Homo-oligomer: A and B are copies of this chain.
Amino acid sequence: MSDGEGAGRVGLWLVGACGSVGVTTTVGALAVRAGLAGRVGLVAEQPEIAAAGLPALDDLVIGGHDLDVETLVKRAERLAAGGVLPAGILPPIAGELAEVEGRLRTGYDRAGEEPQGVAVERLSADLVAFREEHGLERVVVVDVASTEPPAEVVAGGPLADPDALDAALAAGESPLPASSVYVLAAYRAGCPVVSFTPSPGPRLPVLVALAERAGLPWAGSDGKTGETLLKSALAPMFATRALQVNAWASYNMLGGGDGATLADPDNARSKLVTKAQGLEAMLGHPVEGPMHIDYVPDHGDWKTAIDHVSFEGFLGVRMSLQFTWNGCDSALAAPLVLDLARLTLRAQQAGESGPLPFGFFFKDPAGSTEHRLGTQWEELVAWCARVGA
């Protein structure tokens, strides 16, 4: 059957539910269900992926955490005014949207006073309550909150070792990045996790170990929605044609909430690192070239990526490729969030555990060094075929 065996209702819990991506995901799911929008952009609606037997969009109940839980509807209105959400889409789903807002719970603020041990308990209880209240078979937690800086892991320390983490939390310490607090809470509640941001989240060794121990599947990280998506389509062309890329310049302008966050160089570091590593892997050698992410408020939720590639062909002839990608980040990310939620829920149902082979969706694919989009697609299709068999 196409939409999941024994398909009861399942839950999608968004960390950062009131951000652009979170809101677009929620509005989009409600709009598609209501027949107000088509299925363009939803990877899981293709037969090769649907073959896995995924839970239906209609069966997804949405809730989430955010620091300010009363802004979902307001943010949706702002996105509609900015052209990210189509005019007229909100009124027909206003009731349901308010229901989702009602299901939001206050998130964890690393700048606050709450000890992380307490926070984990609280967030975990939110997840269990959500699951029970709505009679959900399973709940997946997807992180679409703002980017955090990379974390420094010390061998044997609380970011590496489960016992050290337990001890630290018991002692009232707060060693984890916020993104990892949510992941720990999810694992405590038996929920699989998707990290759609470059934040540490489930990538810390201590959480990799805890997922393993709990037999939970997880996927990440950093959704591949723009420039890196194009790189993963184009770099294999240069490689298989034996053309030598000498320089690849990457210029990004974005104006949304994520833009403001990335204007802080500390936060941008996570992103820049994951963006660079794939290119080297695909081309087989490091490539010079500037990479900038600039915050240009005027661009709003739109992202412009301009890349300039200098390469060399037979007999040393110099050539170039330049592209401009003009994309709406939220519109590109939101359907992938829905896809990943459905795929990860299916993975849990199928008894999978550890990092899932979903590199097709990510800039920094967990458990894999494969960055070529075509090959990642085939890996995904193969997984779906296997799980759906």
Interface positions of A (Cβ within 8 A of B): 24, 27-28, 31, 37-43, 45-46, 81, 83-87, 89, 229-230, 233-234, 236-237, 240-244, 246-247, 249, 251, 253, 288-290, 292, 294, 296-299, 304, 306, 308, 310, 312-317, 319-328, 331-332, 334-335, 360, 372-375, 377
A229-B241 Cα distance, complex, nearest whole Å:
10
Judging by beta carbons under 8 Å apart, are B335 and A247 in contact? no
Judging by beta carbons under 8 Å apart, are B319 and A328 in contact? yes
Judging by beta carbons under 8 Å apart, are B331 and A315 in contact? yes
Which residue of B247, B292, B299, B321 is within 8 Å of A296 (Cβ)?
B247
5 residue pairs, one from A and one from B, having the closest CB atoms: A374-B374, A41-B314, A290-B294, A317-B331, A323-B323
Q: Which residue of B lies closest to A81 (CB)?
A: B87
Q: Collect the chain B residues with CB atoms within 8 Å of residue A332's CB.
A: 313-314, 319
Q: Collect the chain B residues with CB atoms within 8 Å of residue A249's CB.
A: 251, 253, 294, 296
Q: Collect the chain B residues with CB atoms within 8 Å of residue A377's CB.
A: 236, 240
Q: Which residue of B lies closest to A312 (CB)?
A: B40
A244-B39 Cα distance, complex, nearest whole Å:
10
Judging by beta carbons under 8 Å apart, are B316 and A37 in contact? yes
Judging by beta carbons under 8 Å apart, are A242 and B313 in contact? no
| Given A42-B242, A43-B241, A242-B39, also A314-B292 (CB < 8 A) | no
Judging by beta carbons under 8 Å apart, are B319 and A28 in contact? no
Judging by beta carbons under 8 Å apart, are B323 and A321 in contact? yes
Q: Which residue of B lies closest to A244 (CB)?
A: B40
Q: Which residue of B lies closest to A25 (CB)?
A: B314
Q: Collect the chain B residues with CB atoms within 8 Å of residue A230's CB.
A: 234, 237, 321
Judging by beta carbons under 8 Å apart, are A299 and B242 in contact? no
Judging by beta carbons under 8 Å apart, are A237 and B315 in contact? no
Q: Collect the chain B residues with CB atoms within 8 Å of residue A331's CB.
A: 313-315, 317, 319
Judging by beta carbons under 8 Å apart, are A87 and B87 in contact? yes
A299-B309 Cα distance, complex, nearest whole Å:
11
